[in-house]
Structure 1
Amino acid sequence: MIGVQLINFREKSLLLFCGILLCGCVTTNPSIERKNYFPWENDTGYTQVVKNGNTLYISGITSEKASFENQVDDIYTNIKKILSDYNVGTDAIVKEVIFTTDIEKLKSAIPIRKAYFDGKYPSSSWVEVKRLWSESHFLEVELVVVLP
């Protein structure tokens, strides 16, 4: 009988511990801030920038410019505008993911992209995809930024 009570005590203790642990994981973080930059973000159901503590998560930024090179320039110009709202430059970008429909054109646009970084480049992944949101989009850039 004592053995059964000991097992029940262990099981109850484990369940209580797991419950406490899960409750700690479910709490919401009131320090999360969200900022939209374009009117269609709410229609689509996402936020351009989410700030959690000193980290910014920037959703994929695209461009409607006609050429690949102009889209690269436009996207990084918009990135700099967003970063200026947080009083940082591109050196605060720690992670960059570029989705492109043409990896060879992205390679040829490296000098345009590099001009925005002043020699301090983020960790990056460049991925060729079949298509982006709009057929007119040649690339989309998402970022993780660490604020001072």
Structure 2
Amino acid sequence: MTTPSTAIEKQAAYLGVPWEDAYGYAQAIKVGNTIRVSGQLSHDDQGNLIAPASLDRNGRPSDFSAMEAQMRATYANAAKVLGQFGASLDNVVEETLFVLDVDAAFAVASRVRGEAYDVARPKVASNLIGVSRLAFPAQIIEITFTAILPET
């Protein structure tokens, strides 16, 4: 428990998807002029995964052709979360992409990121990390973001 003298003021953003309550987390937290966005997925407003990957008999993704569609939807969800604080992807200074297939991500990342940031070479520090699993079996990408609002 923090004492009043050490507590910081935090604002939270939510999208109303089921796992916010099930897991107990916020989509983003704003402290001062910095916004940290939790791992974003490719879901619709009801929490249904957009372009779920095909799964093999063991319940693991067997095809990564949905990477572009999932990546595009993930950036769109991040923009919605940032918008709750009056920010946009233009305020993003760092992103980390967690992917199940690095080659599939590299094949589409330049095009999708260019569309999302509306510039061929976004001024964003970017990390691409291959992982063995994400939160949902048919999910093949998750992206976190750090954004900074102008000083007021």
Is the TM value for this pair above 0.5? yes
Pair 1:116-2:116 in alignment: yes
1:125 to 124, 127, 131: 127
Sequence identity percentage: 28
Greater fraction helix: 1
**Counterpart contact for 1:32–1:50, Cα < 8 Å:** yes
Structure 2 residue aligned with 1:65: 50
**Counterpart contact for 1:91–1:122, Cα < 8 Å:** no
**Counterpart contact for 2:14–2:81, Cα < 8 Å:** no
Q: CA RMSD in A?
A: 2.0
- Quote how far apart the aligned CAs of 1:41 are: 0.8
Q: Tell me, in whole angstroms, the C-alpha distance in 1 between the residues paired with 2:18 and 2:149.
A: 25
Give the match's secondary structure for 2:117. Answer: coil
Q: Tell me, in whole angstroms, the C-alpha distance in 1 between the residues paired with 2:91 and 2:132.
A: 30
Question: Of the two, which has the highest radius of gyration?
Answer: 1
Give the match's secondary structure for 2:94. Answer: strand
Runs of 4+ off more than 4 Å: none
Q: Tell me, in whole angstroms, the C-alpha distance in 2 between the residues paired with 1:95 and 1:130.
A: 22
* Unpaired runs of at least 5, structure 1: 1-22
Q: TM-score, normalised by structure 1?
A: 0.76
Structure 2 residue aligned with 1:80: 79
Q: Tell me, in whole angstroms, the C-alpha distance in 2 between the residues paired with 1:137 and 1:121.
A: 27
* Unpaired runs of at least 5, structure 2: 43-48, 52-65
- Quote how far apart the aligned CAs of 1:117 are: 1.1
- Quote how far apart the aligned CAs of 1:69 are: 1.3
| Counterpart residue type for residue 149 of structure 2 | L
- Quote how far apart the aligned CAs of 1:79 are: 1.4
| Counterpart residue type for residue 35 of structure 1 | A
